[in-house]
């Protein structure tokens, strides 16, 4: 089966008991056993739940992996991965990871004994150098496109760097979604998702997931999922699964709208710089074209003028909402310095290239004319 068909049918087989075309939502914490120990594979919903299992099967198939574990948030999924490591194990992170991931690594897991080194740039050499600074490098943590700079890292090249050092390679695929990029096919071992974003797609649920290339690679994560218990509820799983059914359609429109928005911004006198991997002059364009089938729905840009202009821009947006998050059907605008990346120090932000006039757009699937008009008015 191809992608769009799998997104609609895997884990959505009609209910054998009633014929219901859409499988029922299993709101249950426990399962009645015929005799002690004799059951249908489900005992308790922290360990497993049919609605969750259906979502996990669908996500695994969309990422071309063997197995998936769903979590109550993207950060819970990230935590589960890091909890499989031991004190003094080393993690190499990209230079522009999601702010919450940086906080989790540096403020939680470093005090717990992990060693963390960040690559100084997006080139494979920068990752190799960071790995060399660790005593026991175990995990390479990539994010592409990155947030909010939309930098691209070469997953094939970095998977090779990881393999040569016996490191597991994880890609946070939240920004691209499996519709546009399949890291396991490019050589990664595990994929992380905040299903809160494009996969759920409707800004109505928080969730996360890990998909692994092999069932054996998921085993330690599955153990943490059950043991520490950051599982999603059945209703949340249902919502994410329903979102998946239109992922292909939505991503096509996100990509198309974002391209129009990026073009308009790049010709606008009040905009200095537009970061969009679809532009030929984006430093990661060639790599992006080689590993993604579309350039995604995110566009980041900088205003010519300072803080008052930023405030006035946000005040005058009407179709775009000023909000954190991304990947929903509705367009959102955010100011990384005071929102998603405010937990980083001003120095770290500066070092990461996140300026105070930087604005990040999650371009939704509304009529593009309305989006362009809204942005033009706010810029004026
Ligand atoms: C949102 C996000 C996360 C965290 O996911 P939550 O569902 O908010 O916990 C991780 N990585 C990326 C790239 C994200 O955008």
Give the whole-angstrom CA distance, residue 177 versus residue 209. Answer: 12
Q: Decide which of 347 and 321 is more confident.
A: 321
pLDDT tier at 307, thresholds 50, 70, 90: confident
Share of the chain above pLDDT 90, in %: 93
- The arithmetic mean of pLDDT across residues 60-78, rounded, is 98
pLDDT of 308 strictly over 80: yes
| Nearest Cα residue to atom 8 of ligand 1 | 74
pLDDT tier at 306, thresholds 50, 70, 90: confident
Ligand 1 center to 39 CA (angstroms): 36
For ligand 1, is residue 172 a contact (CB within 6 Å)? yes
For ligand 1, is residue 191 a contact (CB within 6 Å)? no
- Which pLDDT does position 351 carry in this prediction? 80
Which segment of 20-34, 90-104, 105-119, 185-199 scores lowest on mean pLDDT?
Answer: 90-104
Q: pLDDT tens across 286-296, in order?
A: 999 999 999 99
pLDDT of 135 strictly over 90: yes
For a ligand 1 pocket test, name from 78, 79, 174, 180 the mutation site with the most ligand atoms within 8 angstroms of its C-beta: 174
Q: What is the CATH number of domain 248-379?
A: 3.90.1150.10
Q: pLDDT tens across 192-245, in order?
A: 999 999 999 999 999 999 999 999 999 999 999 999 999 999 999 999 999 999
Which segment of 23-27, 41-45, 117-121, 342-346 scores lowest on mean pLDDT?
Answer: 342-346
Is residue 275 within 8 Å of 150, Cβ to Cβ? yes
- The arithmetic mean of pLDDT across residues 74-97, rounded, is 96
The full set of domain ranges for the chain reads 3-244, 248-379
For ligand 1, is residue 103 a contact (CB within 6 Å)? no
For a ligand 1 pocket test, name from 192, 197, 232 the mutation site with the most ligand atoms within 8 angstroms of its C-beta: 197
Q: What is the CATH number of domain 3-244?
A: 3.40.640.10
- Which pLDDT does position 99 carry in this prediction? 86
Residue whose token pair is 């760097």 = 161
* Mean pLDDT computed over every residue of the chain: 96
Is residue 228 within 8 Å of 83, Cβ to Cβ? yes
> What is the token pair recorded at 203?
């800004």
Q: Decide which of 199 and 343 is more confident.
A: 199
Task: Please identify every residue annotated as catalytic.
Answer: 46, 98, 172, 197
- Regarding pTM above 0.85, the answer is yes
- The arithmetic mean of pLDDT across residues 240-253, rounded, is 98
Give the whole-angstrom CA distance, residue 246 versus residue 185. Answer: 22
Q: pLDDT tens across 323-340, in order?
A: 999 999 999 999 999 998
pLDDT of 343 strictly over 80: no
For a ligand 1 pocket test, name from 70, 77, 100, 173 the mutation site with the most ligand atoms within 8 angstroms of its C-beta: 100
- The arithmetic mean of pLDDT across residues 138-160, rounded, is 96
Q: Do domains 3-244 and 248-379 have the same CATH topology?
A: no
Secondary structure (H, E, C), the chain: CCHHHHHHHCCCCCCCCCCCCCCCCCCCCECCCCECCECCCCCECCCCCHHHHHHHHHHHHHCCCCEEEEECCHHHHHHHHHHCCCCCCEEEECCCCCHHHHHHHHHHHCCCCCEEEECCCCCHHHHHHHHHCCCCEEEEEEECCCCCCCCCCCHHHHHHHHHHCCCEEEEECCCCHHHHCCCCCCCCCEEEEECCCCCCCCCCCCCEEEEECCHHHHHHHHHHHHHHCCCCCHHHHHHHHHHHCCHHHHHHHHHHHHHHHHHHHHCCCCEEEEECCCCCCCCCHHHHHHHCCCCCCEEEEEECCCHHHHHHHHHCCCCCEECCCCCCCCCEEECCCCCCCCCCCHHHHHHHCCCCCEEEEECCCCCHHHHHHHHHHHHC
For ligand 1, is residue 195 a contact (CB within 6 Å)? no
- Which pLDDT does position 95 carry in this prediction? 86
- Which pLDDT does position 38 carry in this prediction? 96
- Which pLDDT does position 293 carry in this prediction? 98
């Amino acid at each position: 089966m191809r992608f769009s068909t799998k997104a609609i049918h895997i884990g959505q087989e009609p209910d054998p008991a009633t014929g219901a075309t859409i499988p029922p939502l299993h709101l249950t914490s426990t399962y009645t056993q015929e005799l002690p120990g004799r059951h249908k594979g489900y005992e308790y919903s922290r360990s497993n739940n049919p609605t969750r299992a259906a979502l996990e099967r669908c996500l695994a198939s969309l990422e071309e992996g063997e197995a998936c574990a769903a979590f109550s948030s993207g950060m819970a999924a990230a935590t589960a991965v890091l909890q499989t490591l031991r004190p003094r194990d080393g993690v190499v992170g990209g230079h522009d990871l999601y702010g919450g991931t940086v906080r989790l690594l540096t403020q939680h897991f470093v005090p717990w004994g992990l060693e963390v080194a960040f690559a100084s740039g997006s080139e494979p050499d920068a990752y190799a150098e960071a790995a060399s600074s660790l005593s026991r490098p175990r995990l390479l943590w990539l994010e592409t496109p990155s947030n909010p700079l939309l930098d691209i890292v070469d997953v094939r090249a970095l998977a090779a760097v990881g393999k040569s050092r016996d490191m597991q390679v994880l890609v946070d695929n939240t920004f691209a979604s499996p519709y546009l990029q399949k890291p396991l096919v490019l050589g990664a071992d595990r994929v992380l998702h905040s299903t809160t974003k494009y996969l759920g797609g409707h800004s109505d649920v928080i969730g996360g997931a890990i998909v692994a290339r092999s069932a054996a690679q998921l085993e330690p994560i599955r153990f943490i999922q059950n043991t520490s218990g950051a599982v999603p509820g059945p209703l949340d799983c249902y919502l994410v699964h329903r979102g998946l059914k239109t992922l292909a359609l939505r991503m096509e429109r996100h990509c198309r709208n974002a391209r129009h928005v990026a073009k308009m911004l790049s010709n606008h006198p009040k905009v200095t710089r537009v970061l969009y991997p679809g532009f030929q002059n984006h430093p990661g364009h060639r790599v992006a074209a080689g590993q993604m089938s579309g350039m995604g729905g995110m566009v980041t840009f900088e205003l010519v003028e300072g803080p008052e202009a930023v405030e006035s821009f946000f005040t005058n947006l009407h179709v775009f909402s000023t909000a954190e998050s991304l990947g929903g059907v509705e367009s959102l605008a955010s100011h990384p310095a005071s929102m998603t990346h405010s937990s980083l120090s001003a120095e770290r932000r500066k070092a990461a290239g996140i300026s105070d006039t930087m604005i990040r757009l999650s371009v939704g699937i509304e009529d593009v004319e309305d989006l362009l008009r809204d942005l033009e008015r706010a810029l004026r």
